[in-house]
Amino acid sequence: MDAALLLGLYRQMCLCRRFEEAAAKAYSQGKVQGFLHLYIGQEAVAVGAISAIEETDYIVSTYREHAHYLARTGDARGAMAELFGKATGCSGGRGGSMHLFDARHRFLGGWAIVGGHVPIAAGVAFASKYREEPDVTLCFFGDGTANQGAFHEGLAIAAVWKLPLVLICENNQYAMGTPLYRTLSVEDVSVRARGYPMEAEIVNGDDVLEMREAVRHAVDRARKEKLPFFLEAKTYRFRGHSVADPAKYRTKEEVQKWMERDPIGLLAQRIQHLGIANEGQLQALDEEAKAQVQDAVEFAEESPAPAPETVAEYVYA
């Protein structure tokens, strides 16, 4: 086991967790506004998946994308400033929490219409194939997305055109207040893949290493054979759908049960079990993450709002 790798993953997951805790705090202070969808509890999915791909591979995500953005760019300042609606944000304060973009790092959003980004991800994969480039596209979406027409059309096209697209369904059991079973006729979202058909695999989304391995396999296949792959990551969001949601639709027991497999806790145990680091050293990494987030908050606080005279810029090129 590569110690540096494990510690790096741990550090990243801490960054995601601390970032969102700080974002939630800033929201309660009115410094972050609009919708804020926290990823807390799902960190192993984004961090594990993105650790398995090349920097040149593309990422397309949803409105619950802070962790995907951080795992790809490490840029806590740009993300926090965006949440604060500042000119220094990764989308200049124009996008907000749901619309993080970083063209340079091939992080292609940040989309907030459920399923609408799946065909776009297929298009990015199409472009790689068109240009005979080796890049693979990762597309993240939720369990509730599997009933949306755009999801279907994206998969149908990826299947028939054999696009290098890895579809990662983050099955966190709920679409807003709706448990999966109420809107999906099957228990596993990956059953949907059978209709195209498309290779599919179910993975424990709370185990960052399992996630990493599964994505590595899927991406290799997509890269070499130019074939799409459907990964269903079983996970859970510890918080509400957005910070405005008290999540009363879940029992304490259920939440408790999942919190016991907190992906960060699981990784910490493994690291200590392997003797790679002790609690103190892990805490130090967490402190580092906290410091980086604190720095990001200060950066966001001190950054200027977008200049009013720019309000009509970037409507057209």
Ligand X SMILES: Cc1ncc(C[n+]2csc(CCOP(=O)(O)OP(=O)(O)O)c2C)c(N)n1
Catalog residues that contact ligand X under the rule CB under 6 A.
64, 112-114, 142-145, 170, 172, 174-176, 241
Two structure tokens written together for 206 = 């709370």
**What phi and psi values does residue 179 have, to the nearest 5 degrees?**
-65, 145
Contacting residue, 113, 160, 244, 291, with a second copy by CB under 8 A: 160
- Among 64-72, 176-184, 246-254, 276-284, which window interacts with a second copy (CB under 8 A)? 176-184
Computed from CA positions of residues 108, 96, 233, 281, in that sequence, does the dihedral angle turn out positive or negative? positive
Least separation in angstroms between CB 275 and another protein: 44
317 touches which of another protein, a second copy, ligand X, none (CB within 5 to 8 A by kind)? Answer: another protein
Question: What DSSP element (H or E) covers 139?
Answer: strand 137-142
Verify cis geometry, omega within 30 degrees of 0, for the bond prior to 306: no
The candidate with the shortest Cα–Cα distance to 293, out of 64, 65, 17, is: 17
Task: Give whichever of 42 and 91 is closer to Mg ion, judged by the CB atom.
Answer: 42
Q: How far is the CB of 13 from a second copy (least distance, A)?
A: 33
Question: Strands of 199-204's sheet, edge to edge?
Answer: 107-110, 58-61, 137-142, 165-171, 229-234, 199-204
> CA 197, 198, 201, 205: dihedral to nearest 10 degrees?
-120
Q: Does 186 bind a second copy (CB under 8 A)?
A: yes
Write the secondary structure of 60-72 as one string of H (helix), E (strand) and C (coil): EECCCCHHHHHHH
- Asked if 113 is part of the footprint of another protein (rule: CB under 8 A), the reply reads yes
Nearer to ligand X, 46 or 79 (CB): 46
Between residue 226 and residue 255, which ones bind another protein under the rule CB under 8 A?
249
Query: Is residue 176 near a second copy by the rule CB under 8 A?
Result: no
- Residue 60 CB, shortest distance to Mg ion, in Å, is 17
The residue within the footprint of a second copy, chosen from 196, 238, 249, 299 (CB under 8 A), is 196
Residue numbers at the binding site for a second copy (CB under 8 A): 146-153, 156-157, 159-160, 182-186, 191-197
